[in-house]
Amino acid sequence: MYLTKSTSITIVLIFAVVVRVLFAMYQPKPLITADSIGYYQLGVQMVENPRLETIISEFRTPLYPIFLASLSKLLGFNDGSTIADIQQLVGVAGVIIFFSFLIRMGFSRKTTLIFSLLTAGNILVFYWERALVTEGLATTTFIMSLLIFAHTLQTPRTKNFILLWISYGINFLLRPAFVFLPVVTLPFLFIVFKRRSEKLKVFITLLMSCLVPALYIVGNTVYHEYKGIQHVGDIDVLGRILEFDTPIEAGKAYSYFYESVTDYRNRKGNPMPFEFIKVTIP
């Protein structure tokens, strides 16, 4: 049976939605981790006091904290279920973007349909969409960059390079690990393109993409006296010691809560970090 592009997209869309609805029925509450609270608390500061000093943070890049706090303020945080639902919708959009990426890269319609369905039904993908952490959005933003990259590869217009630069910036501000994305991908375009004007566009895009994290480091240096993008806070380190049952000596360099964590572990308290906080902080 021959499947048109619109029919294939409809099948993928319906499947992606059904899988996520079923998972939301099974897991109605969002997955909240220790990091979720940190994102939310920082986001509240950024939203309520939108200055460079608060938006540029030494602990988290600002995109997800602002996303989480803004929606929480608009919708009311409650248990965060609505935010998780929105992230699932973003995830469905990500599956459709992935479908478009495969088509643009020249895969057959049948292959594209199969890979898109496998992605839509992959628990490693849709599971994290209900978690209030960056993974809930990062898959979609990453695939978005790949689609723009493929479009730029086929049509190296200036506007496509601008969109590519914007997508790299979004990925970095969402998850700093994506800082290497332009460094890994853009040299490929530089090799493929033959015209000098196209190579110049690639070079400028790479330069501008590297400028974003560089300016962020400058901001951290000026506002927080920290020469880097982000580091793990004391409570995060000690929280991981509790959660993953690592030796307490791993946090000895961090004085914050060190003695309390030692005592808490000796009393065999609940290993979840925020249960520890409830007991420790009056």
Give ∠ CA 33-143-34 in degrees, rounded to 5: 5
Percent of residues, the chain, with pLDDT higher than 90: 51
Residue 62 pLDDT exceeds 90? yes
* Residue-level pLDDT at 92: 95
HEC-encoded secondary structure of the chain: CCCCHHHHHHHHHHHHHHHHHHHHHHCCCCECCHHHHHHHHHHHHHHHCCCHHHHCCCCCCCHHHHHHHHHHHHHCCCCCHHHHHHHHHHHHHHHHHHHHHHHHCCCCHHHHHHHHHHHHCCHHHHCHHHECCCHHHHHHHHHHHHHHHHHHHHCCCHHHHHHHHHHHHHHHHHCHHHHHHHHHHHHHHHHHCCCHHHHHHHHHHHHHHHHHHHHHHHHHHHHHCCCCCCCCCHHHHHHHHHHCCCCHHHHCCCCCCHHHHHHHHHCCCCCCHHHHHHHHCC
* Residue-level pLDDT at 11: 94
- Tens digits of residue pLDDT in 6-54: 899 999 999 999 999 999 998 888 888 767 877 888 888 899 988 999 8
**CA-CA distance, 91 to 84, in Å (whole number)?**
10
- Tens digits of residue pLDDT in 118-137: 999 988 888 889 988 898 89
Name 52's Cβ contacts closer than 8 Å, sequence gap at least 6. 219, 223
Domain ranges of the chain: 234-280
Among residues 250, 251, 219, the alpha carbon closest in space to that of 58 is found at: 219
Residue 273 pLDDT exceeds 80? no
Both structure tokens of 95: 């599956």
* Residue-level pLDDT at 29: 85
The pLDDT confidence band at residue 97, using thresholds 50, 70 and 90, is very high
Q: Mean pLDDT across the stretch 104-112?
A: 89
Q: Mean pLDDT across the stretch 164-184?
A: 95
Do the Cβ atoms of 183 and 206 come closer than 8 Å? yes
- Tens digits of residue pLDDT in 196-252: 999 999 999 999 999 999 999 999 999 988 888 886 554 555 565 655 566 655 555
The amino acid that residue 227 corresponds to is: K
